[in-house]
Amino acid sequence: MKLIDYGVRDDERPYIEEWSKENQIEVKIISDLLTKDTIELANGFDGVVAFQQLPYDPEIFDRMNDFGIKVISLRNVGVDNVPFDSLKKNNIKLTNVPSYSPTAIAEYSVTGLMMLLRQMKQVIRKVDKHDLRWAPDIGRELNGLTVGVAGTGRIGHAAIKIYQGFGCKVIAYDKYRNPDLDQSIYVDTLDELLKQSDVVTLHLPSLGKGHTVINKETISEMKDDAIVINTGRGDLINTQDLYDAVESGKLYGAVMDVYENEVGIFNTDRTGQDLPDKLLEKIINDPKFILSPHIAFYTTRAVKNMATISLNSMLEELKDGKSQNEIDLG
């Protein structure tokens, strides 16, 4: 058996090499992303593993089919950039890594929130310039705030435990309630959650283009001075509406680890250059926004799990014809 792993970063490589050695299976490591051009390298391999945020071109799967490759295994969870139709047409199976480290993302939610509440962006900027004064960057405390967790899957569940540990009142909303949680924390609607929360943290998948959870209308229902945290998907928020609400003073601020137009910008080095996205540039400069380039997942534990679980799923598919991480293509 021979596998090919695309879009591999240097921090992933040792885990893939270790897996290959342990399992005695050849894995060709490619740093290029998976495109309709680079798929040619997969000819002669049994399975394709990949991870990227750019959309997967449907033609990739036609070529995979030509090469007799019937499984693609993703090293991440999100499948919103995969054309299911093309997979189905070519009878190709897809696996993802549904859970690589829920705590990585849950911890990042609270990290960003603490930074915002204690004005750390401003404080660090001042200290870097040797301005060691306190005022005007007075903080707010997390203890006692009502935190609304939207989405109570693995990540939301981990976030709830952390926020409860900080002495927050946690309320939650999910269409499908998590039986492992105390059911009394649930409210019946997302509107209710938005109305009652001092902090709203989003742990939902993308709801599809144009289906935002945070927008002008929903913001008007929220408490004054509330905070929004998004470590899920950028398109859950109408960013312009959020920016306007923070600028007008309606909301206190926001933590954004994801951005609706991040693909092609995040995880690139633009040191010293203007950004092509002016709204993003304004957000980065604004002390009321903690903006990071989709790094909530980026921990050693998560990266190791993404690298190895994707390969294990591929192995299950090729050996047993089924992996528990296989995606139902509908």
Residues of this chain that interact with ligand COI (CB under 6 A) are: 53, 76-78, 294, 297
Amino acid (1-letter code) at residue 32: D
Comparison of 35 and 122: residue with beta carbon closer to ligand COI = 35
Radius of gyration of the chain, Cα coordinates, nearest whole angstrom? 21
Q: Which two tokens stand for residue 44?
A: 């002669």
Comparison of 58 and 293: residue with beta carbon closer to ligand COI = 293
Comparison of 156 and 194: residue with beta carbon closer to ligand COI = 156
Residues 305 and 97 sit within 8 Å (Cβ to Cβ): yes
Comparison of 189 and 324: residue with beta carbon closer to ligand COI = 324
Angle of helix 120-128 relative to helix 102-117, nearest 10 degrees, comes to: 70
Amino acid (1-letter code) at residue 138: I
Residues 6 and 314 sit within 8 Å (Cβ to Cβ): no
The CB-of-156 to ligand COI minimum distance in angstroms stands at 14
How far apart (Å, rounded) are the C-alpha atoms in residues 129 and 210?
Answer: 42
Which member of 154, 294, 316, 317 is catalytic? 294
How far apart (Å, rounded) are the C-alpha atoms in residues 52 and 74?
Answer: 9
From residue 292, give the alpha-carbon distance in Å to each of 9, 78, 319: 19, 18, 40
Residue 63 annotated among the catalytic residues of the structure: no
Comparison of 148 and 232: residue with beta carbon closer to ligand COI = 232
The CB-of-294 to ligand COI minimum distance in angstroms stands at 5
Instruction: Give the list of residues 6+ apart from residue 144 with CB closer than 8 angstroms, or none.
Output: 167, 168, 169
Which member of 233, 260, 316, 317 is catalytic? 233
Q: Which two tokens stand for residue 71?
A: 């499984």
Which member of 12, 260, 262, 316 is catalytic? 262
Cβ neighbour number for residue 169 with a 10 Å cutoff = 15
Residue 157 annotated among the catalytic residues of the structure: no
Comparison of 77 and 251: residue with beta carbon closer to ligand COI = 77
Residues 191 and 218 sit within 8 Å (Cβ to Cβ): yes
Side-chain-side CA neighbours of 212 within 13 Å: the count stands at 18
The CB-of-229 to ligand COI minimum distance in angstroms stands at 15
Residues 20 and 62 sit within 8 Å (Cβ to Cβ): no
Residue 294 annotated among the catalytic residues of the structure: yes
Amino acid (1-letter code) at residue 68: G
Comparison of 150 and 226: residue with beta carbon closer to ligand COI = 150
Q: Please tell me what DSSP assigns to residue 186.
A: B
The CB-of-87 to ligand COI minimum distance in angstroms stands at 17
Omega of the bond leading into 179 within 30 degrees of 0 (cis): no
The CB-of-76 to ligand COI minimum distance in angstroms stands at 3
The CB-of-106 to ligand COI minimum distance in angstroms stands at 13
Q: Is 58 exposed, middle or buried (0-12, 13-18, 19+ CB in 10 A)?
A: middle
The CB-of-153 to ligand COI minimum distance in angstroms stands at 13
Active site residues: 233, 262, 294
